[in-house]
Amino acid sequence: MIKINLLPVPKARKIKKRAELRSQLIFTSLIFGLIIIICSYFWFDLNREYKQLQETKTKAAKELAELKEKVKEVENYEQNKKSLEEKNRIIEQLKKNQSGPVHLLDEISIGLEPLKVWLVNISVQENRVDLDGKAITNSDIVEFINRLKSSKYFSDILLVESRQVIEGNIPIYSFKLKSTLVL
């Protein structure tokens, strides 16, 4: 089929240019629209990823706070454990040492019973016992020392001093003993 253009040439060119311009405008609009759609897709995708990362960050921060709290609990537990162990050690030491003074005073009172000896001062430092006392005679002091030597709670009994003093016009003997307490 043969096409015959009956329109004047300049008008045909204008129409053809308009058609080309229109098709170029439509093509450019389509490409621009496609670019906007692609950019919008990437923007929404990045926005979604950003929100996910924010949620992950929030969860991680909460987890970190919980872990810090647990670390504090563990540290408190360890401090409490050390404190309780120290208290238990002290209690055990007190229980161990509790019978010492009782036996000490019991043995001293048994040693004093029928004698005319009385004690003025008892000093105990660790396992060292110092006794200051008075007696009517030197033989009472010797008998008291012998009774302490027969006790299983005293060892290394040493008479440091024994001298006669006058108290209220009565001659008495003042003495000092040192010994080791055996528990």
Residue 2 lies in a domain: no
Q: Which of 66, 98, 130 corresponds to the end of one domain?
A: 98
Give yes or no: residues 91 and 15 share one domain: yes
Residue 91 near residue 84 (C-beta atoms within 8 A): no
State how far the alpha carbon of 87 is from the alpha carbons of 77, 78, 92, 99, 100, in Å: 15, 14, 9, 19, 20
Residue 107 lies in a domain: no
Q: How high is the pLDDT of residue 35?
A: 94
Give yes or no: residues 18 and 89 share one domain: yes
Give yes or no: residues 15 and 49 share one domain: yes
Amino acid letter, 18: R
Residue 103 lies in a domain: no
Render pLDDT for 29-54 as a digit per residue (tens, 0 to 9): 999 999 999 999 999 999 999 999 99
Give yes or no: residues 26 and 56 share one domain: yes
Residue 31 lies in a domain: yes
Residue 8 near residue 16 (C-beta atoms within 8 A): no
How many CB atoms lie under 10 A from the CB of residue 151? 18
Number of separate domains in the chain? 2
Residue 104 lies in a domain: no
Give yes or no: residues 13 and 86 share one domain: yes
Give yes or no: residues 56 and 21 share one domain: yes
Give yes or no: residues 149 and 88 share one domain: no
Instruction: Tell me the residue range of the domain where 166 lies.
Output: 114-181
Give yes or no: residues 44 and 93 share one domain: yes
Amino acid letter, 87: K
Does pTM top 0.75 for this prediction?
no
> Over pLDDT 70: what percentage of the chain?
87
Q: How high is the pLDDT of residue 98?
A: 66
More confident residue, 99 or 62: 62
Q: Which residues on neighbouring strands pair with residue 180, listed in sequence order? A: 128, 155
Give yes or no: residues 13 and 67 share one domain: yes
More confident residue, 104 or 75: 75
Give yes or no: residues 12 and 93 share one domain: yes
7 band by pLDDT with thresholds 50, 70 and 90: low
